Amino acid sequence: MDDKRSITAEDLATSREAFSSERANVIAKNAVSSVGLRKAARVPEGVAQNTLQFDIEVTQGERTNQERSGRCWMFASLNTMRFRTIKRYKLKTFELSQTYPLFFDKLEKSNWFFENILDTLDEPLSGRLVAHLLSDPIGDGGQWDMFKSLVKKYGVVPKESMPETACSKNTREMDSYLTRYLRAAAKRLRETAAAGADEDDLLSMKKEMMRDVYTLLTTCLGEPPKSFDVRLRDKDDKVALSGHFTPREFFDKAVGMELDDYVSLISAPTSDKPFGRSFTVSRLGNVVEDGGVRYLNLTPARLKELAVSQLKDGLPVWFGCDVAQSYLRDEGIMDTAALDVDGLLGFPVEGALDKAERLDFGESLMTHAMVLEGVRLDGAGRPALWKVENSWGKDHGRDGFDTLSDAWFDEYVYQVVVDRAYLTDEERAAYGAEPVVLEPWDPMGSLAR
């Protein structure tokens, strides 16, 4: 046995002695083994800075809840949209259906998957690209550009027009069976192509497969309404909007958001992604005819400036982040100063990698989307603390709200969506320039869930 390559009895004895000789280690062990790492590392002085007091704030309706699904990107998008409806018609609260876009996202992702399978028939099944396509073809997650594509094509409906079902509130079963069907269908397409079928035959097969997908989704989620009646009452119980609408008519009338005006900005400080350049991710999207995603990479400071500008104009801001990092979930606090894991353990863990290194080494990526609805400014007018609307129900955090410190923004916010009007001419030109194409597995291609 090579003692330099194996854990020896001497190694164990040395580590045991080193641990027990430090009083702090023993205290940390007793605390962590009783309540867990984060609770033991909680810093009360840091927590105390996260009060719900803001200089700029928009008022939203009642909290929404994505339940046991990965629809945060949909909830965040719909929360920015329903805000406009609530404000326009002076409603007490209002909610758009999250089941409706879920149905069409699964449908469109299935078609997107089949198109990618047909486009990679010459790729080896064991290769990285096909393995990536098969890994999670219709997962719940997504990004702003993908939601924009859904709304442009299908519109939106009030929640009561397509309410939640058991399968929308808990998508695991539906996703599992649909994924299994899609993988089997991919096998059939590849085998049929290998047997000599032409393109028309394969596309005909795909159409039949898509009818099966529609059947599965309708069974789980119900039939999406083609049109519906609406009667909204304002805070004084007066009828503010009534009529019969298609989903696209309702979006135009009740939301009235110019979707193409809103652009996705990322902040990724890795060496392969220079600031001021536009990017896209190969094979990432849902609606085939609308294309994929596009980002402009800017510094965190610039993302914050743009978010504050939109908030000052009374509009919320969609954003994506790595929510699990430095997060006191029960209290709804995202703050690097509210946790001191490294001080508890006595060596760097959270501080072992910087933001670029976390992206490069697979430690961090965008995992969750929420809405910025307020900001506290310091004496110099710079952001100090952000108010966040989550989609985990009113019992989460503080009445469904979280707070996000400015230092946490620098480290773990990866994406914001703002009106292109706030960009400079140079930034708008950079956004519209031919994008650099990132690999399908690049961390900037991660989906908020």
Catalytic residue ranges: 72, 368, 390
Distance of alpha carbon 224 from alpha carbon 161, whole angstroms: 9
Distance of alpha carbon 392 from alpha carbon 194, whole angstroms: 47
What is the dihedral sign for C-alpha 53, 59, 61, 67?
negative
3-state secondary structure of 128: helix
79: nearest Cα among 57, 103, 101, 62? 62
- How far, CA to CA in Å, does 82 sit from each of 43, 56, 88, 410? 36, 19, 10, 28
3-state secondary structure of 424: coil
Residue 173, both tokens = 């079963």
DSSP string, 324-351: TTTEETTTTEE-TTSB-HHHHHTS-STT
Q: Check: CB of residue 186 under 8 Å from CB of residue 113.
A: yes
Q: Check: CB of residue 150 under 8 Å from CB of residue 104.
A: yes
Distance of alpha carbon 108 from alpha carbon 104, whole angstroms: 6
Distance of alpha carbon 119 from alpha carbon 293, whole angstroms: 19
Q: Check: CB of residue 372 under 8 Å from CB of residue 319.
A: yes
The secondary element (H helix, E strand) that includes residue 278 is: strand 278-281
Distance of alpha carbon 28 from alpha carbon 34, whole angstroms: 10
Residue 365, both tokens = 């990526």
Q: Check: CB of residue 337 under 8 Å from CB of residue 331.
A: no
Q: Which residues pair with 232 in a beta bridge?
A: 241
Q: Check: CB of residue 83 under 8 Å from CB of residue 62.
A: no
Distance of alpha carbon 175 from alpha carbon 48, whole angstroms: 41
Residue 334: CA atoms inside 13 Å, Cβ hemisphere, count? 28
Distance of alpha carbon 320 from alpha carbon 266, whole angstroms: 9
Alpha-helical regions (H) of 90-127: 99-119
